[in-house]
Amino acid sequence: MACRRGVLIVLEGVDKAGKTTQCKKLVQALQESGHRAEMMRFPDRTTRIGLLISSYLEKKSQLEDHTVHLLFSANRWELVPLIKQKLDQGITLVVDRYAFSGVAFTSAKPGFSLAWCKQPDVGLPKPDLVLFLQINPALAAQRGEFGTERYETNAFQNKVQQNFEQLRQDPSVNWKEIDAGRSIEEVHMNIKMLCESAINLAKNLPIGELWK
Ligand code: ADP
Ligand code: 2DT
């Protein structure tokens, strides 16, 4: 039997919606049911570009707003060869944040349009499924104190949430909304079911190009 490609699954949502928790559980569940699956996250802070981003997020350095937006995008593009290689090998990738966070966060800054923010990420591998973990940012904030990184304030997260709402109007992306206010296990079961069907549907189709 020909080796079918892996499927590109992205989890998005405001801080503390539960993305990292659910990515880990999903990878484990997929592996247990016989799929090859791995987790990735953006920003990937381990590359040279990622180190610049990490220092900026930790407020150890300043970067001009357009510049850091382009670095976040470059951080995705530099990993595209690896993403394609893994998908070709039949490995399903579960990705914690992608271009949607890129657009939602930068466009929460004054003077940035959604259209401008999307441009550098046009043509990235298009996720087969984008799971939006929907939660009121005020409820998510109750899951723990904000850290000290950039963007970790209620006012900023509210703007990010509104920008996600706009991005989710785009029918060219396969968005699925998940009620992330439920227990970790309930959310997981919901996500697992959606992913199993996405894997069955997508594995015979070529990977698309985002926003193109
Ligand atoms: P994100 O990656 O979206 O920022 P995390 O997965 O890191 O979110 O979760 C943030 C915090 O909330 C963690 O302490 C985690 O254990 C907790 N958490 C995650 N999902 C839930 C949930 N469904 N209900 C209650 N707490 C949760
Ligand atoms: P975490 O490492 O805790 O997820 O925080 N961000 C992320 C952007 O501004 N642009 C992007 O393209 C991406 C992927 C979201 C990372 C922080 O960086 C923000 C929170």
Q: Each residue of 118-173: pLDDT tens digit?
A: 999 999 999 999 999 999 999 999 999 999 999 999 999 999 999 999 999 999 99
Q: 152-191 burial by CB neighbour count: b if 16+ within 10 A, else e?
A: eeeebbebbbebbeebbeeeebbbeebebeeeeeebbebb
ipTM rounded to 2 decimals: 0.99
Q: Work out the number of other CB atoms within 10 angstroms of the CB of residue 6.
A: 25
Q: How far apart are CA 94 and CA 191, in angstroms?
A: 11
Q: How far is the CA of 46 from the centre of ligand 1 (A)?
A: 23
- Please give the structure tokens belonging to residue 68: 């850091």
> 1: pLDDT confidence band, cut at 50, 70 and 90?
very low
CA-23 nearest atom, ligand 1: 6
Q: Which residue has the CA at smallest separation from atom 2 of ligand 2?
A: 43
Q: Which residue has the CA at smallest separation from atom 1 of ligand 2?
A: 43
99-114: pLDDT as tens digits: 999 999 999 999 999 9
Show me where the domains of the chain are located. Answer: 8-206
Sign of the CA dihedral 23, 24, 28, 31? positive
CA-143 nearest atom, ligand 1: 12
Q: Which residue has the CA at smallest separation from atom 5 of ligand 1?
A: 18
The pLDDT of residue 184: 98
Q: How far is the CA of 33 from the centre of ligand 2 (A)?
A: 30
Model confidence at 3: pLDDT above 80:
no
CA-98 nearest atom, ligand 2: 14
18-31: pLDDT as tens digits: 999 999 999 999 99
DSSP assignment, residue 113?
Answer: -
Superfamily of domain 8-206: P-loop containing nucleotide triphosphate hydrolases (3.40.50.300)
* Whole-prediction pTM: 0.98
As a whole-number percent, the residues of the chain with pLDDT over 70 amount to 99
